[in-house]
Amino acid sequence: MAERARERADRSERSERAERAKAGSTGSSALSRSRVRLDLPKAPRQKLLPEYDPEAFGRTSERIARFLGTGRFIVWMTLVIIVWVLWNIFAPSALRFDEYPFIFLTLALSLQASYAAPLILLAQNRQDDRDRVNLEQDRKQNERSIADTEYLTREIAALRMGLGEVATRDWIRSEFQDLIKEMDERRLFPHESDEGDR
């Protein structure tokens, strides 16, 4: 087996060389290109953008979105803004870094908002995906429960039908009572039944 595979590989390699030589001698540009080998993995491409783990990025964005939705964030943001404004109003002129219109503060807040909105949307999309998966699992579980319930219902109906044909204690008792009555009647009139048999 291994020898046959080697022979096939050698033959295909020789035929490729022959085609290349033929293409080189005829000047054909389409055949002179190197052929793509399908038995070898493709070399990885050089990417311009850095690679990242989308799952890790999603988890981080969810943590940030959760923090942005807490009262703690609002308290800290309020304190930072109050300190910022008070510092830039009452600090000495040489130490102020953002004068009265507070342009740098506005820029910082708009930058924070421009990052917060997509992170919150990403966290909501991930939550929607999780909810969709959970709903699908719940739906499948409900279908299984319905199928199990229908099966058990059919089994109980079959048992009830079978029990209708089974002798119960009351039925056996009534049969015994009938037999005892019949035996008593035969004892009361033994001669008549004997004469009737003759």
Rounded to two decimals, the pTM is 0.49
Q: For the chain, what is the radius of gyration of the CA atoms?
A: 46
The 10s digit of each residue's pLDDT in 1-48 is: 667 767 777 777 777 777 666 655 555 455 446 677 888 888 888 888
pLDDT of residue 63: 92
Tell which wins on pLDDT, 171 or 67. 67
CB atoms inside a 10 Å sphere around CB 65: 20
Distance between CA atoms of 198 and 158, rounded to whole angstroms?
50
The 10s digit of each residue's pLDDT in 122-156 is: 999 999 999 999 999 999 999 999 999 999 999 99
The b-or-e profile of 90-127 (16+ CB within 10 A means b, else e) is eeeeeeeebeeebeebeeeeeeeeeebeebbebbeebe
pLDDT band at 76 (very low <50, low <70, confident <90, very high): very high
The 10s digit of each residue's pLDDT in 3-14 is: 776 777 777 777
Six-digit token pair at 45? 């491409």
